[in-house]
Structure 1
Amino acid sequence: MILKKTACTFLFFMVMSTLSFPNGKKDLPSFNVVFIAVDDLRPDIGAYGNLLVKTPNMDRLAKSSTVFQNHYVQIPTCGASRSSILTGLLPKTTRHLQNSALETFMANEPEKDIPESMVHHFRRNGYYTVGIGKIGHSVDGLLYGYEESPEGAKPEMPYSWNEFLFDPDKWGTGWNAFFGYADGSNRQGMNNQVKPYEKADVPDTGYPDGITAELATEKLRQLAGKNQPFFLGVGFFKPHLPFTSPKKYWDLYNEQDIPLSPVPDIPENIHLASLQRMGEFNNYQAGDEKARLENPLSDEYARKLRHAYYAAVSYADAQVGKVLDELERLGLAENTIVVLWGDHGWHLGDHRVWGKHTNFEVALRSPLIIKVPGIKPREIGKNEVVSSVDLYPSLMELCGLPVDFPLDGKSLVKLMQEGKDEQRDNIAFSYFNHGITMRNERYRLTRYFREENPVIELYDHLHDPLESKNIAAQHPEIVAQLMPLWEKGNTGLFDQK
């Protein structure tokens, strides 16, 4: 595919940031960075222990990388989670929990001391920055249906990118492509009268992620010829709803071999307000069944949906493989940091929920895999807890770029190099649904700011890794012991009255 659709796919921002170099040096940083964001990817891949799901490319990357087994996002929704990792900041207001969160974090002027994103900081320090697909939530305006031209587009990170690429192909707009089906239709154009899954006998480019992978590989070939380090962000839609993918990825699985959720019931001793009513899932009104907390889906339909999700994961994995293969072929792999990140998890019938948008483990835990040339591959086990906000300072340290402005994340470099870092607080904070939740190596403690009781939930992952029973009332001494740690993540986000 040739990068020639100027009006639709090539947004070149003429406003250039003033380039600066670390410590006043004129030599550019040594590492390139490829950041791959996979939408709604829970840690159901081989590298995280699910041997049923076919993810050979992500698993191949993991074998040469640092794999963080207990990585947590800050917000279990797409735009806000991406805003947090791109800014290295925890949410401070309820606006930071929305899909438009990046707009509230952004600097209004390119000359401000604090960059609008880590991509912007790379650019300020001599990197050529390219985004392809879904990096923030709106694909720099394209997903929200703005007129797709340099004049009409409204980029969400206007100072971050030298180039932003996206090809909506037969779907016409990025927003349509995001919810697209193989025939060129989309959920909104069909007035939601569509199923939440599709199996079409089409090539990879029959859906948007295949086109995004082609754009990425072609752009890598161009970047390889530049005498300049680069940051390339590549965002794949799948396995986000609808669970659509080419038939060949469905054929990787025998549906009857796919297990149902190991925790299909509502946790004990909680209020239903801690869960969610699955508005996103039920927006696919032609689905076989409606999802209700009071009435779980049939086993047959639940298994079909899990099959569809796994097929979409395998489809995304194949696109990731194309990017990795091109890095190798071009000889860039030995000088390029590769990050694979899932923007949050997803309940596949767990706790009767189909979707994200909860403060439970299954919605907050996602893959984080970082490959750094020269750093020995290792698995960072479940006793070490890390957060998405930790990526920003980690990449800056690895690339030798100064950070003289506040970030909430802590660098992972020592943990990657040595397998331990005694200076780190071994906790992660997440925020949603009027609640703040803290995860350490053993417990999850959640406090909700609401009228419905109970407002405190405690889960012991040593004895209850699936979070099936809230034990806060039975163990007030543990709650009291953990609450000072929880307070470290209380950013004043919610009204505590």
Structure 2
Amino acid sequence: MTPKLSLFLCFIFIGFLQSCGTEVQEKKPYNILFIAIDDLRPELGVYGNDIIKTPNLDAIGQAGTIFENHYVQVPTCGASRCSILTGMLPSNREHLKNSAIEKMMADVPEGERPESFVHHLKRNGYYTVGIGKISHSIEGLVYGYEESPVGAKAEMPFSWDEMLFDAGKWGNGWNAFFGYADGSNRQGKKKQVKPYEAGEVSDEGYPDGLSAQLAIKKLRELADKEEPFFMGLGLFKPHLPFTSPKKYWDLYDREDIPLSPSPDIPENIDLSSLQESGEFNQYALGEEKAGLDHQLSDEYARKLKHAYYAAVSYSDALVGKVMDELEVLGLAENTIIVVWGDHGWHLGDQRVWGKHTIFETALRSPLIIKVPGLAARRISSDMPVSSIDLYPTLMELAEVPTNFTLDGQSLVPLIKDGKDENREALAFSYFKNGISMRTDKYRMMKYFREETPTIELYDHLNDPLETKNIANEQPELVEQLLVQLEKGDTGLYTDENN
């Protein structure tokens, strides 16, 4: 080879390397839009409900990865959010309460370990914005339902560049959270309110509509920023009260809405495994009170389910507005979308109206992750996953290293390949003095209590509605599953944690 040819090829090679380097430098990290929807069961079209109207959430699912069997770690708002934000299983009783994030983060100096995955992203170059309910408190401030937020401390003091909320005519976050269309709220009315409302208002006539507006406005600002962003949008509905503009009620013929397929107490259990629908019964002007000793009338149960469906459709419409803006701004092609329900909700299942049990209905919620450029897929019920898995998943997708322990396991192999040979089909949840374990075929519960039985086992292949505890019929299987359940025993119910 002549010297001139060698020099020529060298220049070509250097130019190639420079070109590749430029492409790498120009590739901006993914933005992340995390949509948390309060009390959302997997009642969406893409989860098999052919009556509910959720076209926008369905569209995200049809383009992303749908996790059919996703389970939260605790079936109450604040504690569930604590687990997903920290990537950790609950390890003491404080982690089971709505105050979990406050106790863990609000008065703690910034340490080497980040307080949340939002904090970790912020430390690694992300501009972080929260809108609505991401942690437990609405404005990200710690104050009581009937207190003023003025002077309140931050719930997650190191996570947010901006924590935003438009309280509108309700005045503050908690008033808005329990708000009605006329600007009143549950606590101001001393609970003399109904658990539902069909408001003759526009989308902006309820607080979630204002949150969606705020998200759209902020996306327009973020589109011009050099650094990637994380936006958390927390929608209230369908949390009680089941309120939404009347046009979403009008989407449904009430007679088409089915009643609960499992309205009776499961066989072979103690009633302490369930709960008396206390949160629901706080709405004193409801036509009927719920209780384990009776079912609500079919008429009222169907009305409540109608209200719930309308509230879900309202949230879906707001998600659609935000997604449309993401497209208009040219952000969709580089933004990861996460849709997460913070837990399920018994709509009369097992005679319960509410969450706060460790049955399937209270623990299973939607999880949809859409990653630009990756194929749509569905992760079947053979592979249960957990909320704690989101932290390592986002870090892997964002190429942000973690040098600390997390209890979750990245979902990226499932998202990319539809399988993960290194993942065990187990998901653990905690509440009611019990540990609940979901496998591909069974749900086992172990209770630390005086009431018996303390072991419950449900066969999801033959009894997906969990209507009969078969633990006494399958002693060998119980022994096998108890060995697996030990993997989820964090010491939560030991004496020193009581």
Tell me the CA shift for residue 291 of structure 1: 0.4
Aligned residue type for 1:367: P
**Matched residue SS, 1:398:** helix
Residue equivalent to 2:403: 404
SS at match of 1:35: strand
For 2:144, give the aligned amino acid.
Y
Per the TM alignment, residue 110 of structure 1 is displaced from its structure 2 partner at its CA by 5.6
- 1:71 paired with 2:70, answer yes
How much has 1:449 moved relative to structure 2?
A: 0.3
- Residue 104 of structure 1, CA deviation: 3.2
The structural deviation recorded for 1:103 is 2.4
Q: Deviations over 1:279-336 (max 9, x none)?
A: 1000001100010110111111000000000000000101111111111110000000
Matches within 5 A, 1:240-319: 240-319=239-318
Distance 1:236 1:197 in 2: 17
Please state whether the residue corresponding to 2:131 is helix, strand or coil.
strand
Contact 1:196–1:242 (CA under 8 A) maintained in structure 2? yes
How far off is 1:373 after superposition? Answer: 0.9
Letter in 2 for 1:168: A
Q: Does 1:463 pair with 2:462?
A: yes
Aligned residue in 1 for 2:111: 112
The residue identity in structure 2 corresponding to 1:216 is A
* TM-superposed deviation, 1:357: 0.3
Determine which structure has the larger helix proportion and give its number.
Answer: 2
How far apart in 2 are the matches of 1:148 and 1:231? 25
Q: Structure 1 residues 469, 435: closer, same or farther in 2, change over 3 A?
A: same
Residue 345 of structure 1 contacts residue 364 of structure 1 at CA under 8 Å; is this kept in 2?
Answer: yes
Q: Which residue of 1 aligns with 2:337?
A: 338
How far apart are 1:144 and its partner, in Å? 3.4
What letter corresponds to residue 384 of structure 1 in structure 2? Answer: M
Q: 1:283 to 1:251 in 2, by over 3 A?
A: same
Identify the residue that residue 387 of structure 1 maps to in structure 2.
386
In the alignment, the residues of structure 2 paired with residue 82 and residue 178 of structure 1 have an alpha-carbon distance, to the nearest angstrom, of 16
Relative distance call for 1:420 and 1:104 in structure 2 (3 A) is same
The structural deviation recorded for 1:142 is 6.5
**C-alpha distance in 1 between matches for 2:123 and 2:26:** 14
* In structure 2, distance between residues paired with 1:307 and 1:388: 28
2-structure distance, mates of 1:340, 1:479: 35
1:324 equivalent in structure 2: 323
TM-score by length of 2: 0.92
Give 2:192's aligned residue: 193
Question: How does the TM-score come out when normalised to structure 1?
Answer: 0.93
Aligned match of 1:421: 420
- In structure 2, what is the Cα distance between the partners aligned to 1:228 and 1:473? 58
Match of 1:452 in 2: 451
When structure 1 is superposed on structure 2, of 109-118 and 294-303 the one drifting more is 109-118
Amino acid at match of 1:246: P
Partner of 2:81: 82
Alpha-carbon distance, 1:403 to partner: 0.4
Q: Post-superposition shift, 1:113?
A: 1.3
Q: Which residue of 2 aligns with 1:225?
A: 224
Q: 3-state SS of the aligned residue for 1:106?
A: helix
Alignment of 1:359-398 (within 5 A): 359-398=358-397
Residues in 2 aligned to 1:142 and 1:58: alpha-carbon distance in whole angstroms: 31
Return the offset for 1:495: 2.8
- After superposition, the C-alpha distances for 1:83-104 in whole angstroms (9 at most, x for unaligned) are 1000000000000000011123
Give the structure 2 partner of residue 170 of structure 1.
169
Asked if 2 retains the 8 angstrom alpha-carbon contact of 1:38 and 1:239, the reply is: yes
Amino acid at match of 1:303: R
1:489 aligned onto 2:488? yes
SS in 2 for 1:219: helix
Partner of 1:133: 132
Spell out, residue by residue over 1:373-416, the C-alpha distance to the aligned partner (whole angstroms, 9 max, x if none): 12111000110110000000000000000100110000000111
Cα-to-partner distance string for 1:404-446 (whole Å, 9 max, x where unaligned): 0110000000111111101011100000000001001000010
Please report how far the alpha carbon of residue 26 of structure 1 lies from its aligned counterpart in structure 2 after TM superposition.
9.5
Counterpart position of 1:45:
44
Structure 1 runs not aligned, ≥5 long: 1-24
Indicate the residue corresponding to 2:212 in structure 1. 213
Question: 1:449–1:495: 8 Å Cα contact kept in structure 2?
Answer: no
Whether 2:357 is the aligned partner of 1:352: answer no
Instruction: Name the counterpart of 1:144.
Output: 144
Q: Matched residues in 1 for 2:93 and 2:28: separation?
A: 37
Structure 2 unpaired stretches of 5+: 1-23
Cα distance, 1:127–1:352 mapped onto 2, change above 3 Å: same
* Separation in 2, partners of 1:40, 1:224: 31
- Please tell me whether the aligned partners of residues 193 and 285 of structure 1 are also in contact (alpha carbons under 8 angstroms): yes
Secondary structure of 1:75's counterpart equals coil
- Deviation, 1:155, is 1.3
Supply the AA of the counterpart residue of 1:141: L
Pairwise CA RMSD of aligned residues?
Answer: 1.5
Show the 5 A alignment for 1:4-19: none
Using the alignment, how far apart are the partners of 1:196 and 1:389 within structure 2? Answer: 31
Corresponding residue of 1:8: none
Amino acid at match of 1:480: E
Q: Is the 8 A contact 2:34 2:230 kept in 1?
A: yes
Checking the alignment, whether the CA contact within 8 Å between 2:106 and 2:153 is kept in structure 1 is: no
* Counterpart code for 1:265: D
CA apart distance, 1:70: 0.5
4+ residue runs over 2 A deviation: 25-29, 103-111, 142-149
